[in-house]
């Protein structure tokens, strides 16, 4: 770990344009809060001293970024004010301090390294971008080589507003200078806020030049509203799918498949159209996910077949060579190697033994209205169609359950359980019934 890098991530704003009751940076992109994407980029850059500036009452945000430190900014008086309160954690720190926005989830370690390189000479560099439409961004005033000032859109002259090279809100500043400069920032501007951007002009007055690096526009995209959130999702999904295909996953209609940032896919996995993979999923080699399946928080082994129309819910573990067919819901359950459930079943809180076959329409009744109960089956068990297992029930190795049974007690090894009323045959009853009702 490099001890000489720290970060301040600005995330105290509620993001009013999101019209949300949760902080803006807690909205997910590809199954992970946007601020956590920023943290991942910092971690990959070997920045281990990470400080997140949050607003009051943002406990979910603090726990989402934990174990990294959070500092509460009570008075949201601007980006300069926000960065300044990190002084209490970084006062003695003399290495590179990166400052980033919590709402920019695409920033990459490569760009952070470039920015740090640019900052080496004077201890100050800022990341810019040639925006197609720079509206809303602070414009870079340059002497051709260095940034001499950053002027916010609202403070720009008409000429300055024509500049496309603008501020992405990412900085790399030497810890030896940062807080000296921040302490000189005032709120004498159009918005009455303490602007972080003013450190550039303050440094210039002290004869310290500000270098800059640039990045692609998508990488520095800031998310301010739900439309931009959807656009970010689209970009990140496309990145994740391309990466998966590069690693040896087949997708028949990639644009219809949704992955999560932490999705782990083995080689020769085949994913058919319209599959949604939520957070926390791992799928082993040669497994085939058929169309319209929904999987989250589950691990799936090798050579398995899932769906079409399967739903695998969190805390489920599917082994190797398992076959989960159409309209199967698996919830907090384990399927050991070679087991099967191919049609129309609910498997909740169950452990299914190796090579066990669960017949069509089987339901594990795991909930009694107050508590959830666990059932198990041993190895090589056969559960006949349309059975109801009223949990907790343990079915021993090699046992069989007659179709249509309702099980309420354990079944011993190799036994047959028949839990249904005896069939009666009433000879000629149907004919007599018809004759009786004939007009």
Q: List contacts with Mg ion (CB under 5 A).
A: 222
195 touches which of ligand UD1, Mg ion, none (CB within 5 to 8 A by kind)? ligand UD1
In the residue annotation, 343 being an active-site residue is answered as yes
Instruction: Between 222 and 396, name the residue whose CB sits nearer to ligand UD1.
Output: 222
Could you give the count of Cα atoms lying within 13 Å of 303 in the half-sphere of its Cβ? Answer: 7
If the CB atoms of residues 41 and 400 are measured against Mg ion, the closer one turns out to be 41
Instruction: Kindly state the smallest distance separating residue 76's Cβ from ligand UD1, in Å.
Output: 4
Closest approach of ligand UD1 to the CB of residue 176, in Å: 22
In eight-state DSSP terms, residue 233 is H
Q: How far is the CB of 128 from ligand UD1 (least distance, A)?
A: 9
The nearest distance, CB 94 to Mg ion, in angstroms, is: 29
Nearer to ligand UD1, 28 or 77 (CB): 77
Least Å distance, CB 69 to ligand UD1, is: 15
11 binds, among Mg ion, ligand UD1, none (CB under 5 to 8 A by kind): ligand UD1
Convert 80-115 into a string of H (helix), E (strand) and C (coil). Answer: HHHHHCCHHHHCCCCCEEEEEECCCCCCCHHHHHHH
Q: What residues are paired with 210 via a beta bridge?
A: 147
Query: What's the CA gap between 323 and 181, in Å, rounded?
Result: 63
- Quick one: 222 or 254, whose CB is closer to Mg ion? 222
Q: Which long-range contacts (CB under 8 A, 24 or more apart) does 347-352 make?
A: 348/372, 349/373, 349/374, 349/375, 349/391, 350/374, 350/375, 350/376, 350/377, 350/389, 350/391, 351/375, 351/376, 351/377, 352/376, 352/377, 352/381
CA gap 382, 395 in Å, rounded: 10
- The one of Mg ion, ligand UD1, none whose footprint includes residue 6, by CB under 5 to 8 A per kind, is none
* Binding partner selected for residue 82 from ligand UD1, Mg ion, none, CB under the kind-specific 5 to 8 Å limit: ligand UD1
CA separation for the pair 134, 234 (Å, rounded) = 22
Residues that bind ligand UD1 (CB under 6 A): 10-13, 53, 73, 76-79, 81-82, 101-103, 137-138, 150, 152, 166-169, 195-197, 222
- What is the residue whose two structure tokens read 């190797």? 320
Identify which of residues 86 and 295 has a Cβ nearer to ligand UD1 in the complex. 86
From the list 113, 164, 343, 373, the catalytic residue is 343
Q: Which residues are catalytic?
A: 343
């Amino acid at each position: 770990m490099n001890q000489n890098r720290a970060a301040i991530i600005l995330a105290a704003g509620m993001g009013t344009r999101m019209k949300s009751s949760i902080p803006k940076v807690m909205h997910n992109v590809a199954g992970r809060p946007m601020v956590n994407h920023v943290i991942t980029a910092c971690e990959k850059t070997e920045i281990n001293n990470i400080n997140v500036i949050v607003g009051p009452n943002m406990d979910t945000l603090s726990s989402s970024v934990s174990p990294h430190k959070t500092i509460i900014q009570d008075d949201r008086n601007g980006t300069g004010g926000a960065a300044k309160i990190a002084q209490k954690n970084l006062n003695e720190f003399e290495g590179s301090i990166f400052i980033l926005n919590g709402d920019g989830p695409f920033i990459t370690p490569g760009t952070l390294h470039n920015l740090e390189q640019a900052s080496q000479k004077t201890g100050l560099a800022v990341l810019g971008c040639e925006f197609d439409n720079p509206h809303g961004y602070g414009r870079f005033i340059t002497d051709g080589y260095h940034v001499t000032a950053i002027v916010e859109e609202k403070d720009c002259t008409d000429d300055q507003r024509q500049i496309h090279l603008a501020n992405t809100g990412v900085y790399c500043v030497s810890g030896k200078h940062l807080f000296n400069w921040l302490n000189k920032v005032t709120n004498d501007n159009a918005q009455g806020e303490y602007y972080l951007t003013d450190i550039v002009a303050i440094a210039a007055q002290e004869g310290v030049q500000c270098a800059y690096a640039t990045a692609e526009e998508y990488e520095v995209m800031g998310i301010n509203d739900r439309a931009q959130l959807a656009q970010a999702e689209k970009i990140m999904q496309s990145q994740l799918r391309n990466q998966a295909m590069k690693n040896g996953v087949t997708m028949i209609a990639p644009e219809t498949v949704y992955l999560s940032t932490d999705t782990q896919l083995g080689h020769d996995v085949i994913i058919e159209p319209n599959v949604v993979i939520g957070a926390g999923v791992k799928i082993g080699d040669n497994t085939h996910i058929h169309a319209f399946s929904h999987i989250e928080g589950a691990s799936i082994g090798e050579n398995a077949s899932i769906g079409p129309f399967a739903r695998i819910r969190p805390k489920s573990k599917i082994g190797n060579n398992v076959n989960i067919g159409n309209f199967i819901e698996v919830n907090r359950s384990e399927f050991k190697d070679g087991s099967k459930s191919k049609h129309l079943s609910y498997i909740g809180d169950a452990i299914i033994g190796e090579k066990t076959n669960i017949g069509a329409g089987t339901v594990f009744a795991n909930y009694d209205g107050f508590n959830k109960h666990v059932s198990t089956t041993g190895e090589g068990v056969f559960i006949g169609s349309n059975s109801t297992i009223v949990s907790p029930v343990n079915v021993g190795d090699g046992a069989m359950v007659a179709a249509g049974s309702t099980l309420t007690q354990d079944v011993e090894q190799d036994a047959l359980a028949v839990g249904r009323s005896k069939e009666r045959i009433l000879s000629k009853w149907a004919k007599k019934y018809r004759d009786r009702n004939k007009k």
